[in-house]
Amino acid sequence: MGELGVHATAIPGLLVIDLQVHGDARGWFKENWQREKMTALGLPDFGPVQNNVSFNPQVGVTRGIHAEPWDKLVSVATGRAFGAWVDLREGPSFGAVATVELGPETAVFVPRGVANSYQTLEPATAYSYLVNDHWSPQARASYTYVNLADPQLAIAWPIPLAECEISDADRRHPLLADVVAMPPRRTLILGANGQLGRALAAVLPTAEAWGRDRFDVTDPAAYDAVRWQDYDTIINAAAYTKVDVAETPQGRRDAWAANVTAVGRLARIATEHRLTLVHVSSDYVFDGTAELHDETEAPSPLGVYGQTKAAGDALVATVPRHYLVRTSWVIGDGPNFVATMAGLAGRGISPTVVDDQYGRLTFTDELARGIAHLLATRPTYGTYNLTGDGPVQSWADIAAEVYALCGRDRADVTPVSTATYTAGRQTAPRPEHSALSLERIGATGFAPRPAEESLRSYLAGWAGLE
C-alpha cells in the first residue's frame, strides 16, 4: 500500500505524489486527489474544476510537450506511462526537465507553464488530468510547446520516437531555442489614476495599472471583459473617499456602489480564480474612542463613508488570499491637507485647524512601499495596519509643523475644536482617535518611516524647500 508522500523534482513546483493503493482480489482503490491530506503534505490547494481522461489503446502513444496556462494533477487510471515535463516558464529554470514513470501508485502536480508529455508503456493506458481552469479556444491561444525530440532536452524516451504514434502537430513543435516562454501571472492595480494608484505603479513597475477609463469598478460589465486567469494579484486602490458628500443621498449611493458592491465583485473574482486581493481600508471604520486601534478591534463606524469601508472589509475577509491594509490620513501627489496648508502659508493666510482629532499622516509612497513588501514577503494573510510611524499628532499640530517648514510662525495656526470648526456645516462625523498600531506590520520586517521625515521630504519636493 505504501505511505502517502509528496516529493520535489528538478523543476520548481513540479511535485511527485506517492499514492496509497488499496488492493485485494477484486482489484485496487486509491484516493487520487485528497485535498486535506495532500495540502497538509505541501501540495498546493489548486482548486480543480475540470477532469479530463485520455485513453490510449496501444503501447508507444506519445503526446506533448504542451504547457497550459493552468495547474494540473496528472495520473493514470489504468496501465503505465513514462511522463516527461519541461519548464517553459520565464525564469532561471527555463528548460529544466523531469521524468517519472507513472502507475496507479504515482501522481504528479504540474504548475502553470510547465509542459506536460507522456509515452504509454502498456496497452489500454488511461491518462487523467485534473485541472483548475476550464478549457476554451481562447485558453488554447496561451499554450506554449516544445519538440519531443529536441536534443537539448535529451529526454530518454523508453521507446524510440521513430517507433511511436505521434500527431503531426506534436512533431512540428519548435525546439527549445525557439520557444516563447510563458510569462508569469501578473499583478493588476485598479484605481491607478488616483494618488495611491500612481504611487503603487511607481514601486511595482511590472504591474498593469488600470484607471477608471480602462476599468470602472462600479460597472458590472467590466468584470466579464477581463481574463482573470492571467493575473495572480489584484490591488484595489479604487474607492469613494468623499467623506462629507457620502452623507448626502447621491453620495450615499455612490459610496456604497464603489466601496461595497464593487468590492463584493472583486472578492468573488479573487476567490473564484485563486487570486490574492489587496484592499485598502481606513481608520473611519472605528468610532475613535480607543486611543490606538489594532487589527483585532471590531468596526464601529460613525458615518456613511466608514460604514461602507467596514462593509467592504467584511467582504474582503472572505477571500482566502487577502491583505486588508488599513491606513489613515493619506497624503499623496494631489489635493490634500498638507498641500492646502503649504499653499495657505505661501499666501500669508493664518488658518484655524481642529486640535481634537489625533492620528498619524500616511504618505502614499510609504503606503505603496508597505504593500509591495507584503506581496514580496507574503506573510500570513489578513489585516495589517500601515501608516507613518512616530508620535500621534492633531491636525493643528501637523498644520503648525507645515507652517514652520515653510518658514512661517507656528503661532499663525489657530487651534479650534471640531464642534466649533464644523458649526453650521454639513460634515460627516470623524473619529477622535485615528492612530493605528503598527506592531503587526513591523513583525513582517517592514519599518514604516516616521511621518515627520516623510513630511519634510514631501514639502521639499512640493515647494522646492531645502
Rg (CA), the chain: 28
Q: Running DSSP on this structure, what letter comes out for residue 297?
A: P
Cα(24)–Cα(128) distance, rounded to whole angstroms? 23
Q: What nine digits make up the cell of 381? A: 494573510
DSSP states of 200-253 as a string?
Answer: HHHH-TTSEEE-TTT--TT-HHHHHTS-GGGEEEEEE------TTGGGSHHHHH
- Residue 6 one-letter amino acid: V
Q: Which of 333, 365, 335, 326 is nearest to 200 (CA)?
A: 365
Amino acid at 5: G
The answer for 420, left when phi > 0, alpha when psi is -120 to 50, beta otherwise, is alpha
Q: Which three cell numbers stand for residue 435?
A: 492612530
At 441, the amino acid letter reads I
Residues classed as catalytic:
66, 129
Q: Taking the CB of residue 432, how many other CB atoms lie within 10 A of it? A: 17
Comparing C-alpha atoms, which of 54, 188, 44 is closest to residue 118?
A: 54
The residue ranges of DSSP E strands in 300-389, in sequence order, are 322-327, 330-331, 352-354, 358-359, 362-363, 382-385
| 148/167 Cα distance (integer angstroms) | 11
- Strand 352-354 and strand 414-416: the pairing is parallel
